[in-house]
Chain A
């Protein structure tokens, strides 16, 4: 089955833009979805598909894809964006599902 690779940790200055990436062969076929998980809470969907935000997610969150790499972009990061972020995709060879290892975002 496929794997999704994320950087373990990323930091961003308050108000700046940050890109969190996710690499995997399945991303050439399927769009990634992205989840925000704050300490002690359940994951929250923030981006799915080409670049879709669920209701209630701020428009500073966006998504993109290039080749085998999906990106979650936070434009103008806020203190409340500090969290773990996970990417997710369907496996390109079957109906299985795979998650990335997660990226811990620190807002400085």
Chain B
């Protein structure tokens, strides 16, 4: 059964870069059948898509975050990563990684990691 686990610092200073890693176990990140995504949720608010990537490196980013986001993959470690630069308090959120499916008729995320809270504060 595929499992995803986010890891990274829980506290980041304003203007610095947030870096998170999603470790994939129970399956290969190099499968051509899936994409891999990052989604975040500010405290008390809804879900916000950050970006999605294919194991080959093709990436799609949220227009509102595109200038600050980089998603990359390390197939040798079976993990993928998120970097968000120039963070502010508005970037405080629970960050989730998830496997993404994409078909001609729609997309879905399954499963999700448990999420990791990142607080932006000095």
Contact = CB atoms under 8 A, between A and B. Distances in A.
A96 B62 contact: yes
B46 A48 contact: no
A15 interface: no
Interface residues on B, range: 20 to 34
Interface of A: 1, 30-33, 35, 42-45, 48-50, 54, 86, 88-90, 94-102
A35 B37 CA distance: 15
Interface string B73-114: 000000000000000000000001000011101111111111
Interface in B54-79: 60, 62-63
A99 to B, nearest CB: 4
Given A30-B105, A30-B106, A101-B46, A95 B112 contact: no
B49 interface: yes
Contact of B47 (A30, A31, A45, A86): A86
Dominant SS at the B interface? strand
A50 B97 CA distance: 25
Given A42-B113, A88-B108, A99 B46 contact: yes
Contact of B46 (A1, A44, A54, A100): A100
Given A86-B47, A101-B46, A42 B112 contact: yes
